[in-house]
Amino acid sequence: MLQAALRSGAASRRCVFETFARRLPSGRRYGVLAGTGRVLDAIEDFRFGPEELRDLRERRVVDEDTLGFLADYRFDGDIWGYAEGETYFPYSPVLVVESDFAHGVILETVILSILNHDSAVASAASRMTGAAGSRPVIEMGSRRTHDEAAVAAARAAYIAGFSSTSNLEAGRRHGVPTGGTAAHAFTLLHESEREAFEAQVASLGADTTLLVDTYDVTEGVRTAVEVAGTSLGGVRLDSGDLVVQASEVREQLDALGATETQIVVTSDLDEYAIAALAAAPVDTYGVGTRVVTGSGHPTASMVYKLVAREDDEGRMIGVAKKSKDKQSVGGRKYALRRRNPLGVVEAEVLGIGEQPVGDADDRDLLVRLVEGGEVVGREHASLEAARARHEASVAELPRSAHQLSQGQPAVETVFLTDTP
Amino acid sequence: MLQAALRSGAASRRCVFETFARRLPSGRRYGVLAGTGRVLDAIEDFRFGPEELRDLRERRVVDEDTLGFLADYRFDGDIWGYAEGETYFPYSPVLVVESDFAHGVILETVILSILNHDSAVASAASRMTGAAGSRPVIEMGSRRTHDEAAVAAARAAYIAGFSSTSNLEAGRRHGVPTGGTAAHAFTLLHESEREAFEAQVASLGADTTLLVDTYDVTEGVRTAVEVAGTSLGGVRLDSGDLVVQASEVREQLDALGATETQIVVTSDLDEYAIAALAAAPVDTYGVGTRVVTGSGHPTASMVYKLVAREDDEGRMIGVAKKSKDKQSVGGRKYALRRRNPLGVVEAEVLGIGEQPVGDADDRDLLVRLVEGGEVVGREHASLEAARARHEASVAELPRSAHQLSQGQPAVETVFLTDTP
């Protein structure tokens, strides 16, 4: 595409590319945008170095003119987007790139890869933290997803309200709080459960969490309190019927005087399992596989579409594919979140042309992220800001957004143009 | 865990860790192991540099003794495994690590991340190439998965029989053949479809693939042949009822004299959609989202378990968690694929202790990958060898393995010990 457009001259036409999801994953009420900060980093670093150029030349992927373009490549256009952590709905233009064709088209894969992955994780994570209420949720899914995706997943889950991650690299690279627990291997390494607990408490103090289900839970809890005393930080349950077990363990801990000892539950939890444990005396949830794989929806299925371009006379015109099953709406858009006077969201309003003004309850959604190739909106994609934004954005959604059952998007997307 | 074990001295105990899946994803007949080559690279490179150590110190994640251990960390143990591309079944010990506890336990996350991701993709890809028969399948899912996972997914899909990928970095880094097509944006960039096709053919020659469904397919095919002539390489269909459309387009191409022009179909294909197109005149499939997300099963759910360790007297003993729902089998194992005299697989035979000898139809599955920290089995994890192995391994499975319908694993896993 790039080579052909460079040759025909069309590569220099001004274009608007829009990133959006045509629909939410089946049954979901809202999506959570994550990855914007990683997108900004990726665009700043998007270069073709000597090794990449040599490879493309040797394998004859593109011609010399195109190699020359790639060697000099620096993104020089403008980018707007929803701030990171913001909720989104079908057709929400979460990232909008304006540049010439060549500079914009080449970013498609990296932008979509990041936003599709990170938003899938954040969208699932948001349902889990919603179901958990005020109880903390720890992300511990690194081992069930790609080695680098694990780091990004920890970041995305934190944005959507997870309290911490077991991925230390996510702590180092992104500043996500980290924590962890011992595995069954640690208990099995020792001659007895007691010996394992003694080793852990000797090294980490009584304020640690002991894994009590390697052999027999009742025995494990008794031994744990004997070894660590009643100031034991927590016990972890990783198997069995957690609802029943949590109650039994709570009773046992209280009877032993360990009334402050917390109960951490893990074991293939998802938002439904968390909701089912709402009445159980659980203090903390650990979630692995289901959050890093998007709880059944591992991609947000966003697309990156050309929606407007310069015509032969230099005017910008809206363009769209004519297809029954893949609808796009041409033209550069504005995006507003329409709220009622109580602050509850009523609609996602998208339109082309003049943005309606004057309604104080409308919230403008697009912020400037990149201007002439320079990142200018880093503050809209910082980790803590995104986490706070997610919380605020979810809080203003109508109540139906918080239902875990299958349903329609919580608010409707309204187009203020005659094309749907 | 590491800190407590270093302090108690248990860290130096010889251990065997086994990587296996307790079950295949629901309904699947077999799994395909991928990622071994990436695991070997990761273990060779597994180091804690100044930045990582500084971060762990500043955030007080571990104590000074542990930091010292990490600073000197080099894996020094032995690793056996199934060769890459091999099929696997429940409990198949696809990667076995023997070392002291400290050196082995620390590799858990990186080994599982790589094998769980890559094997999930390869297992799904294998069903797709099986359904496609002799027709080539192109991997084009980069935009729907994490940016780095995309590169690994292209590699894993190629091992499982995909012909090429649209991910250029997978070509550079791993040697996967690459290819691509134009997107709708390229057509929309131009004043007309004809102008777009002319630009593409001018740059890439008539032997290119033109995307014909941006406006009207019949019109698009006519224009494509007018522009490129009857030697047009291919047309791509990316929407609509592909079964009906492929037949119509084939008839139209033949009537126009473009009898050699191929039909490439894309649009959310998976193994079922590919199978449904078996009777349609399709030449090549392009698969995106569904292969990179494991076609409904984005992780292989493998675990890394301590199965044997040195006891106080220095003897190796088998260990296993006692849990009803999470069974493990203690002890270092052998693994054989039992075949009947016709070469058809009858069972996955796992056992502890002396390996049965003398049956010429049994195939030994574990190969030496790492010895005393040195990679010695790189040839068992090279890309082309893995691709050939996948083909041979799938070919010897019983016919039921090739059914796409939900079912049991194609062969049973048999334990030649008294523990299940």
Q: What is the CATH number of the domain that holds B273?
A: 3.20.20.70
Residue A418 burial (C-beta neighbours within 10 Å; 0-12, 13-18, 19+):
exposed
A173 domain residue, yes or no: no
Digit-coded pLDDT (tens) for B338-388: 999 999 999 999 998 778 776 778 899 999 999 999 999 999 999 999 999
**CA-closest candidate to residue A334, choices A345, A348, A344:** A348
A368 to chain B, closest Cα gap in Å: 24
Are B275 and B302 in a shared domain? no
Residue with the bigger pLDDT between B138 and B312: it is: B138
Is residue B417's pLDDT more than 90? Answer: no
Question: pTM for the complete prediction?
Answer: 0.97
**CA-closest candidate to residue B136, choices B165, B167, B171, B156:** B165
Digit-coded pLDDT (tens) for B121-155: 999 999 999 999 999 999 999 999 999 999 999 99
A221 domain residue, yes or no: yes
* Overall domain count for chain A: 2
What is chain B's mean pLDDT, rounded?
A: 95
Q: A1–B191: do the CB atoms touch at under 8 Å?
A: no
Is residue A327's pLDDT more than 60? Answer: no
Q: What is the residue whose two structure tokens read 């070509």? A: B171
Number of CB pairs, chain A paired with chain B, less than 8 A apart: 252
Are B304 and B401 in a shared domain? yes
Which residues have CB under 8 Å from B108's CB, separation 6+? A143, A183, B17, B304
DSSP state of A85: T
Residue B245 domain boundaries: 181-282
**CA-closest candidate to residue B339, choices B166, B151, B87, B91:** B87
Q: Of all residues in chain B, what percent carry a pLDDT higher than 70?
A: 97
A188 domain residue, yes or no: yes
A26 domain residue, yes or no: yes
Q: B5–A239: do the CB atoms touch at under 8 Å?
A: no
pLDDT tier at A358 (50, 70, 90 boundaries)?
low
Predicted pLDDT at B54: 98
Q: What is the CATH number of the domain that holds A398?
A: 3.20.140.10
The CA distance from B102 to B188, in Å, is 58
DSSP state of B419: -
Q: Are B203 and B190 in contact (CB under 8 A)?
A: no
Beta strands, E only, B121-217: 137-139, 164-165, 209-211
> Residue A226: helix, strand or coil by DSSP?
helix
Chain A positions touching B152 (Cβ under 8 A) are 146
The CA distance from B97 to B111, in Å, is 10
Are B315 and B276 in a shared domain? no
Pair of tokens at residue B286: 């392009």
Predicted pLDDT at A419: 43
Q: Are A21 and A301 in contact (CB under 8 A)?
A: yes
Predicted pLDDT at A420: 40
The CA distance from A123 to B419, in Å, is 42
Asked if A134 reaches chain B (Cβ–Cβ under 8 Å), the answer is no
A252-A257-A259-A265 Cα dihedral, nearest 10 degrees: -40
Asked if B202 reaches chain A (Cβ–Cβ under 8 Å), the answer is yes
B185 to chain A, closest Cα gap in Å: 5
Interface of B with A in 303-322 (CB under 8 A): 304-306, 309, 311-312, 319-322
Chain B positions touching A182 (Cβ under 8 A) are 1, 4
Which residues have CB under 8 Å from A380's CB, separation 6+? A36, A81, A83, A84, A367, A369
Q: Of all residues in chain A, what percent carry a pLDDT higher than 90?
A: 90
Q: B325–A240: do the CB atoms touch at under 8 Å?
A: yes
CA of B309: which chain A residue's CA is closest?
A: A189
Predicted pLDDT at B419: 43
A342 to chain B, closest Cα gap in Å: 38
A158 to chain B, closest Cα gap in Å: 17
Q: A7–B202: do the CB atoms touch at under 8 Å?
A: yes
**CA-closest candidate to residue A22, choices A409, A416, A419:** A409
Asked if A20 reaches chain B (Cβ–Cβ under 8 Å), the answer is no
Are A109 and A19 in a shared domain? yes
Asked if B239 reaches chain A (Cβ–Cβ under 8 Å), the answer is yes
Q: A184–B321: do the CB atoms touch at under 8 Å?
A: yes
Overall average pLDDT of the A37-57 stretch? 97
Q: Of A253, A282, A311, which residue sits at a domain end?
A: A282
Are B191 and B219 in a shared domain? yes
Predicted pLDDT at A357: 74
Are A272 and A309 in a shared domain? no
Q: ipTM score of the complex? A: 0.96
**CA-closest candidate to residue A30, choices A83, A85, A90:** A90
Q: Which helix (H) or strand (E) holds A194?
A: helix A193-204
Interface of A with B in 92-131 (CB under 8 A): 101, 105, 108-110, 112-114, 116-117
B126 domain residue, yes or no: no
Digit-coded pLDDT (tens) for A187-218: 999 999 999 999 999 999 999 999 999 999 99
Q: Of B282, B313, B339, which residue sits at a domain end?
A: B282
> Residue B125: helix, strand or coil by DSSP?
helix
B342 domain residue, yes or no: no
Q: What is the residue whose two structure tokens read 């500084």? A: B54
Are A311 and A394 in a shared domain? yes
CA of B149: which chain A residue's CA is closest?
A: A146
Q: A15–B112: do the CB atoms touch at under 8 Å?
A: no
Chain A positions touching B56 (Cβ under 8 A) are 168, 172
B234-237 and B209-211 strand pairing: parallel
Residue with the bigger pLDDT between B218 and B321: it is: B218
- Neighbour count for residue A350 (Cβ, 10 Å): 22
Are B187 and B100 in a shared domain? no
Overall average pLDDT of the A103-120 stretch? 98
Pair of tokens at residue B240: 């609509």
B88 domain residue, yes or no: yes
Predicted pLDDT at A180: 86
Residue B200 burial (C-beta neighbours within 10 Å; 0-12, 13-18, 19+):
buried
Is residue A328's pLDDT more than 70? Answer: no
Asked if B59 reaches chain A (Cβ–Cβ under 8 Å), the answer is yes
Are B258 and B311 in a shared domain? no
A386 to chain B, closest Cα gap in Å: 19
Are A308 and A339 in a shared domain? yes
pLDDT tier at B323 (50, 70, 90 boundaries)?
low
Chain A positions touching B240 (Cβ under 8 A) are 323-325
CA of B2: which chain A residue's CA is closest?
A: A186
Geometric angle at alpha carbon B191, from B187 and B196, rounded to 5°:
35
Are B239 and B306 in a shared domain? no
B342 to chain A, closest Cα gap in Å: 38
Asked if A184 reaches chain B (Cβ–Cβ under 8 Å), the answer is yes
Are B274 and B242 in a shared domain? yes
Q: For A131, how many CA atoms within 13 A lie in the half-sphere containing its CB?
A: 23
Overall average pLDDT of the B86-102 stretch? 98
> Residue A117: helix, strand or coil by DSSP?
helix
B416 domain residue, yes or no: no
Pair of tokens at residue B173: 């880094």
The CA distance from B389 to A196, in Å, is 43
